[in-house]
Chain A
């Protein structure tokens, strides 16, 4: 079967750095997405990786290793507004998105 694994919950301190991991086993691979979802709101797009390596976008970076079936989202200079769930989603060989359950990130002052 197809599976996406992410930690259920993480806690970090304002101003610090946090890395949220995502491992996947899917039928084929056509890209990996990260979305942010604040409580009670819709998911919003953060990043897309289809080739191995690091993609940097401001305070957020996303890394992909296709051979290891692994990605991480790196958040720097954490702010209270970064408290949210972070969803990892992989596009399989049929271009269907397989979603992880999300990682709830709690930021403490």
Chain B
């Protein structure tokens, strides 16, 4: 099994550009999450989904959007990229709230 797959691994954006970070999982998990990880800080939740067609904001949703049209896919959209969005982004999935998270390998994004 591939687990959680994120693409791309690296990306450089100019200020004001847009992009979509892709995330797909093949474990039939209902719960999916997008986190960002900045140096010296804990993971911050951007958006999450408890099933297809359901999404909700996390702690730091501004500047991002998500959709969950299928159980497998949970893309994260950045509109009008800003330098503050320079970070490492992780997608994760799990079977339930008290179950361990399975993480993708991350996307390292730089906005200049």
Interface residues of A (CB under 8 A from B): 4, 8, 30-31, 33, 35, 41-45, 48, 50, 87, 89, 91, 95-102
Complex Cα gap A44–B106 (Å): 12
> Which residues from chain B contact A95 at a C-beta distance below 8 Å?
97-98
- In the complex, the answer to whether A98 meets B42 with C-beta atoms within 8 Å is yes
Interface bracket on B:
10 to 19
Whether, in the assembled complex, B95 has its beta carbon less than 8 Å from a beta carbon of chain A, the answer is no
6 residue pairs bridging A and B, Cβ less than 8 Å apart: A42-B90, A50-B98, A89-B42, A95-B97, A97-B43, A101-B40
Complex Cα gap A45–B106 (Å): 16
Residue of B41, B43, B90, B106 with highest tally of chain A CB at under 10 A: B43
Whether, in the assembled complex, B100 has its beta carbon less than 8 Å from a beta carbon of chain A, the answer is yes
> Which residues from chain A contact B106 at a C-beta distance below 8 Å?
41-42
Least distance between B58 CB and chain A CB atoms (Å): 8
Least distance between B14 CB and chain A CB atoms (Å): 24
> Which residues from chain A contact B41 at a C-beta distance below 8 Å?
101
- In the complex, the answer to whether A43 meets B103 with C-beta atoms within 8 Å is yes
Whether, in the assembled complex, B13 has its beta carbon less than 8 Å from a beta carbon of chain A, the answer is no
- In the complex, the answer to whether B97 meets A44 with C-beta atoms within 8 Å is no
Whether, in the assembled complex, B105 has its beta carbon less than 8 Å from a beta carbon of chain A, the answer is yes
